[in-house]
Structure 1
């Protein structure tokens, strides 16, 4: 069975374009979320993942509708593969039920991993450079030194 997933970032946005494409692709069920892709909790996706069974294909209109990041997508598609579920992205021409589709997706996964490692490398280099210039990392304190002093005095006075 082909099962679709549509997502838009806000309630103001419309899912019609995605739904029409998934219907034309032969999806028998379509699950929906109206929530930012950066949010980990997506009830529609959660329900969809519980519904999928071996031999099914998860279909999305576009890759970015499913995953928060390429890394997240690769992990999710790998979990689907382990359960015997295929993945298909209509506009990205990815279909993991074919050898070429699986190959292409693995290449994308390797690129995502490389991107993650480059980000970590740049972040470490940036933090080291900032430390060398005497900067301290982290966010600014919410209280000024004077406010800390006042809080200490109030605590000492039992207030």
Structure 2
């Protein structure tokens, strides 16, 4: 039996594309999650595990829909192999029911891990270079120096509620609390 699994990261995203592809591939059952791939507790994926039987094939739209990392994907393939279940990825045209499919899976996995590490390395190098040039990341501050001092003065006077201060200064509560926190760090 072909059992499908689809996942999107947020509730704003739709599963339609993946579910349509899984139906076209002939999946008898399709389970899904609307949750980040970095979350290990995925109810839909747990249901997949319960329904898989020897001889079944787990069908996914793309490899990253199943695993959070290369290690996680390889663990899944190992688990599926122990259960006598194949994995089929529609986008990458991978089918682990054959030895060549297993080889291609491992090559794709290695390349994906390599790409992820390169991106991380380039990002860190870019951040380091920016810091060396004096650039500090993050969002620009909402208030200039004088307005920030006024917001802090209002906060410390305890004559106004947090909501009133935020309304007067046109800032959010987290922004005000960040200013207070940063001020206290300067005095430490």
What is the TM-score when the length of structure 2 is the normalising length?
0.61
What is the TM-score when the length of structure 1 is the normalising length?
0.69
Structure 1 position 106, deviation (Å): 0.9
Match of 1:118 in 2: 118
Which whole-Å CA distance do the structure 2 matches of 1:137 and 1:15 have between them?
Answer: 39
Match of 1:78 in 2: 74
Match of 2:98 in 1: 98
Give the secondary-structure state (helix, strand or coil) at the position aligned to 1:72.
coil
Note the residue ranges of structure 2 that are not aligned, 5 or more in a row.
Answer: 160-188
Greater CA radius of gyration, 1 or 2? Answer: 2
RMSD: 3.4
Match of 2:108 in 1: 108
Which whole-Å CA distance do the structure 2 matches of 1:55 and 1:43 have between them?
Answer: 23
Q: Which has the higher contact order (CA 8 A, sep 6+)?
A: 1
Structure 1 position 88, deviation (Å): 0.8
Note the residue ranges of structure 1 that are not aligned, 5 or more in a row.
Answer: none
Which of 19, 23, 38 aligns to 1:19? It is 23
Which whole-Å CA distance do the structure 1 matches of 2:143 and 2:43 have between them?
Answer: 38
Change (3 A) 1:45 1:128: same
Instruction: Say which structure is richer in helix.
Output: 2
Which whole-Å CA distance do the structure 1 matches of 2:18 and 2:90 have between them?
Answer: 18
Give the secondary-structure state (helix, strand or coil) at the position aligned to 1:30.
strand
